Amino acid sequence: MPADKIKHVAIIMDGNGRWAKEKHLPRVMGHHAGARAVERVMRAAKDLGIPYISLYAFSTENWKRAQSEVKGLMGLFRYYMRAKLSELCKENCRVRFAGNIAALPQDIAEILHEVEEKTRIYNERNLIICFNYGGRQEILDAVNKIIAQGTKTPVTAEIFRRSLYLPDVPDPDLIIRTSGEMRLSNFWLWQSSYSEYYFTRQYWPDFDKDSLEEAVRNYYERERRYGKA
């Protein structure tokens, strides 16, 4: 039985640092090359007709990195969001962010809000950027939202889902992680219950159209049973 048509591919973009190290470049150059890989993959996703792509861009744990790297990453996001906004609109792509945006440096939070506002009207494609995101924090935020609402009835999975950051986004069908690591690292914890996983040794900056096609081909060879026999 072939798998359902793929709707959402979620990506843990790992290996930027190692890619740079192997080339004797500063780590931040790996992130720049990673951003170019994002552009390639967005074009490939369009050709493959994948309506939702989500990217783990910055986790709640990434603040522990060297200050210079965090600064470099923030600068890169700042630049990319500004530079690519008009192209995203032309591509009919809605961009949303999942994570604690309010805790970000104010100018970045403002840019992210602007990108969300300006792309709100588009609906052909969706780019979800997990930024200052942690899956456990998302679950805790949902619990606290429900408590604050004073709900008296038992909380069902459906009620719970409605309290997540982006409740209307379908759960990821496929989660890709590059660079040979085989962990979820606090990504989409609630949403990944029935996701298929695909791991590749390729570093994220080397990931391209062929890589995405290979991952999607592999997905379609699998049988998803959702607990059924």
In sequence order, the 6+-apart residues with CB closer than 8 A to the CB of 228 are: none
Cβ 27 to ligand FPP shortest distance, Å: 6
Residues 161 and 55: their CA atoms lie apart, in Å, by 20
Cβ 19 to ligand FPP shortest distance, Å: 7
Contact footprint for ligand FPP (CB under 6 A): 13-18, 31, 34-35, 38, 55, 57, 62, 76-77, 80, 129, 179, 204
CB-nearer residue toward ligand FPP: 129 or 142: 129
CA distances from 145 to 28, 106, 138, 148, 172 (A): 37, 24, 10, 5, 23
Cβ 156 to ligand FPP shortest distance, Å: 34
Cβ 7 to ligand FPP shortest distance, Å: 20
Taking a C-beta distance cutoff of 8 angstroms, is the pair 164, 142 a contact?
A: yes
**CB-closest chain residue to ligand FPP:** 17
Cβ 43 to ligand FPP shortest distance, Å: 14
CB-nearer residue toward ligand FPP: 15 or 163: 15
Active-site residue numbers? 14, 62
CB-nearer residue toward ligand FPP: 142 or 175: 175
CB-nearer residue toward ligand FPP: 95 or 164: 95
Taking a C-beta distance cutoff of 8 angstroms, is the pair 30, 20 a contact?
A: yes
In sequence order, the 6+-apart residues with CB closer than 8 A to the CB of 182 are: 197, 199
- Hey, what's the torsion of the CAs at 167, 162, 198, 31, to 10 degrees? 50
Taking a C-beta distance cutoff of 8 angstroms, is the pair 98, 131 a contact?
A: yes
Residues 3 and 206: their CA atoms lie apart, in Å, by 27
Taking a C-beta distance cutoff of 8 angstroms, is the pair 191, 171 a contact?
A: yes
CB-nearer residue toward ligand FPP: 15 or 196: 15
